[in-house]
Homo-oligomer: A and B are copies of this chain.
């Protein structure tokens, strides 16, 4: 039989559709024997609930959405995104919730997609990440009433639960680590400052270096790609007062720079120390391996997904604080003797 329905089960068991529904959903209203009979018939004929019908009658899509606004090529290279997805998956699949995932190139189609997904009842809620400065999404979410959770938020968003991280101490640790190694001219190569977390790190870097070094250290903005990272590195090294240590905003730029520079004869870390914000296996792919901020991306994403499910079910959820990233020291910032 092709795609059996509860109607088929009802007929086979000699009961009504309603009774079948009660039995299959573990609700009271049917006797133990009838329930057992219905369940065994359902299993036998390979019945699977129609998600469309369920969604329609119970107004639950049993799915959540995740949209990435990034260049597909970057998404492919940067391990961060896929690990996040894997973490989300882990939490969702445990409860049989599906994930709608899309990579779009611009924020306009992003919001449009959220609108279609939510309006079309395709999802019960959304996971957001990479919050931007003046992000239009929180306002839309509040207006539409769509449940959403922000992954790794830098600040509170009223009405939108978040998993929150604070980068202040991490940045301070990174700078101190480099100062301890004797570096006095630092620099930072960042992602787009339109991203909230990038903007925050910019501020923290400024504050910490001012406090500890008494002078502003250069920061260069990029689009997070390997090429841009290498270009920015070259520019910094070619300028006056070249830095002896650079903090990169992601693993891709740091690794690419190490690979390029070492092949050109620049000695890392002797001539240039390198530190990356996101840790991943990439960091250990080059020699010397790159010192990086490690955090459990999968675990954090899974937490956010759980928060979202709580929000959807209970109607409310509390912000959850995450451990700040910890510095994993490797060869790229080894002691210079």
Residues of A within 8 A of B (CB): 2-3, 46-53, 55-56, 61, 63, 72-73, 75-77, 79, 81-83, 85-87, 89-90, 93, 96, 98-104, 115-122, 145, 226, 255-256, 259-260, 262-263, 280-282, 284-288, 298
Nearest-CB residue, chain B, relative to A116: B48
Please tell me if the beta carbons of B56 and A52 are within 8 angstroms of each other in the complex.
yes
The distance in angstroms between the C-alpha atoms of A63 and B122, with both chains bound, is: 10
Nearest-CB residue, chain B, relative to A4: B119
- By Cβ-Cβ distance, the 8 closest A-B pairs, closest first, are A263-B287, A48-B119, A72-B86, A52-B55, A76-B82, A76-B83, A76-B79, A51-B120
The distance in angstroms between the C-alpha atoms of A81 and B63, with both chains bound, is: 22
Which of B48, B52, B96, B102 interacts with A89 by CB under 8 Å? B102
Interface of A is mostly: helix
15 pairs, CB–CB < 8 Å, chain A vs chain B: A46-B115, A48-B118, A48-B119, A51-B122, A52-B52, A55-B55, A72-B86, A72-B89, A73-B86, A76-B86, A81-B82, A96-B116, A99-B101, A101-B101, A260-B287
Please tell me if the beta carbons of B103 and A102 are within 8 angstroms of each other in the complex.
no
Please tell me if the beta carbons of B56 and A85 are within 8 angstroms of each other in the complex.
no
Which of B3, B51, B285 interacts with A226 by CB under 8 Å? B285
Nearest-CB residue, chain B, relative to A226: B281
Please tell me if the beta carbons of B75 and A82 are within 8 angstroms of each other in the complex.
yes
What is the total number of copies of this protein in its complex?
Answer: 2
Please tell me if the beta carbons of A280 and B53 are within 8 angstroms of each other in the complex.
no
Which of B55, B56, B73 interacts with A281 by CB under 8 Å? B73
Question: Chain B contacts of A284 at CB under 8 A?
Answer: 226
The distance in angstroms between the C-alpha atoms of A85 and B86, with both chains bound, is: 14
Question: Chain B contacts of A286 at CB under 8 A?
Answer: 259, 285-286
Please tell me if the beta carbons of B72 and A61 are within 8 angstroms of each other in the complex.
no
Question: Chain B contacts of A90 at CB under 8 A?
Answer: 72
